Chain A
Amino acid sequence: MTFLAKILVFPREGVLDTQGKAVGKSLNRIGFGSVKEVKVGKYIQVLLEAVTEADAAAAAESMCGELLVNDLIEDHTVQVGPWKP
């Protein structure tokens, strides 16, 4: 069965996110005074074959551990569900 893994990667708490800061400042400057903090990360979408959803989630986590995420500087979340074309 084919599953879709949605992986969000963003800077870890305590790591200076220069991009997020710059974007936040720009938002403030163009009138969005309510903006307190912005973090800029990335969205990775993986289509994968697995027997169960749990297997797909485990595989996606392994991918994060081995390549997609650097734990020293990044946090991540993984959301897995059946793929609907």
Chain B
Amino acid sequence: METMRTSVIVFPGSNCDRDVMHAISASTGTMTDLVWHEHRTLPRDTGLVILPGGFSYGDYLRCGAMAAKSPIIDAVIKHASSGLPVLGICNGFQVLTEIGLLPGALLANTSLDFICDFCHVRVEREDTPFTGHYRKGEVLRIPIAHYEGRFYLPEEQLRTLEEEGLVVFRYCSPEGVTGEDFTPNGSPNGIAGIINRKGNVLGMMPHPERATESLLGSLDGAPLWGSVNSWIRGRLGE
């Protein structure tokens, strides 16, 4: 059986690259390559591309702005155009918006605090390559760690995003109730993760790689890796 092979892009200042690698290996037993941002091609047979969390380029200028201009990005865009999955976590989500693979921008949290804490998010879609092993409406306990996580889109575009059902994760209470009170960073409509129209590029502020082992307090991120693995195996099997 063919298996998933993941490329984790490493920018200067990325700091979740090895965590992601470990989480994927521990939960799916598949192989991961760390790919330096100055490379121009992805390893052959790359199925999943991950832009990991961290502080690429020290968050200078704007979070993700300079990483978005790295030599490897053309290959990431090509990978996304071919329909294969691309996942941006935290700083990776910021990079995806700066590249333009996802709409919007991530602004400073309303509280102006760096928030590093567990939170709850509700799964809004189970029909994506990343969420097939979840149920719609399921509540995940998963950590966030960011200063700039408040999603922004002008009102009209935000409405379109919602109408098209592109929100995949939403902050919520442990019972799954959404609202301002349960949104730690002030994100509109509790948006924690969005996907592109084609359904293969996901950006999310919460860190699934930090919720893949019971030792770390939650296993709720693990099904995400399993979901992509199943999706890619299904595609390879076609």
- State the A residues within 8 Å of B (CB): 14-16, 18-19, 22, 66-68, 70, 72-73
Question: Which of B38-46, B79-87, B107-115, B162-170 interfaces with chain A?
Answer: B107-115
- A15 in complex: contacting residue of B62, B109, B152, CB < 8 Å: B152
Give Cα A22–Cα B108 distance, bound, in whole angstroms: 12
Residue B235 CB within 8 A of the other chain: no
Q: Tell me the count of chain B residues lying within 8 A, CB to CB, of chain A.
A: 16
A18 touches B108 (CB 8 A): yes
B61 touches A73 (CB 8 A): no
A70 touches B105 (CB 8 A): yes
Contacts of A15 on B, CB cut-off 8 Å? 107, 152
Closest to B157 in A: A72
Closest to A73 in B: B105
What are 14 A-to-B residue pairs whose CB atoms are below 8 Å?
A15-B107, A16-B107, A18-B108, A18-B112, A19-B112, A66-B69, A67-B65, A67-B69, A68-B61, A70-B65, A70-B98, A72-B152, A72-B153, A73-B107
- State the B residues within 8 Å of A (CB): 61-62, 65-66, 69, 98, 104-105, 107-110, 112, 152-154
Give Cα A70–Cα B69 distance, bound, in whole angstroms: 13
Contacts of B108 on A, CB cut-off 8 Å? 18-19
Give Cα A14–Cα B153 distance, bound, in whole angstroms: 10
Contacts of A70 on B, CB cut-off 8 Å? 62, 65, 98, 105
Contacts of B112 on A, CB cut-off 8 Å? 18-19, 22
Shortest distance from the beta carbon of B21 to any chain A beta carbon, whole Å: 30
Give Cα A15–Cα B181 distance, bound, in whole angstroms: 21
Give Cα A28–Cα B113 distance, bound, in whole angstroms: 21
Give Cα A72–Cα B72 distance, bound, in whole angstroms: 24
Closest 6 CB pairs of A and B: A18-B108, A73-B105, A18-B112, A72-B105, A22-B112, A70-B62
Contacts of A67 on B, CB cut-off 8 Å? 61, 65-66, 69
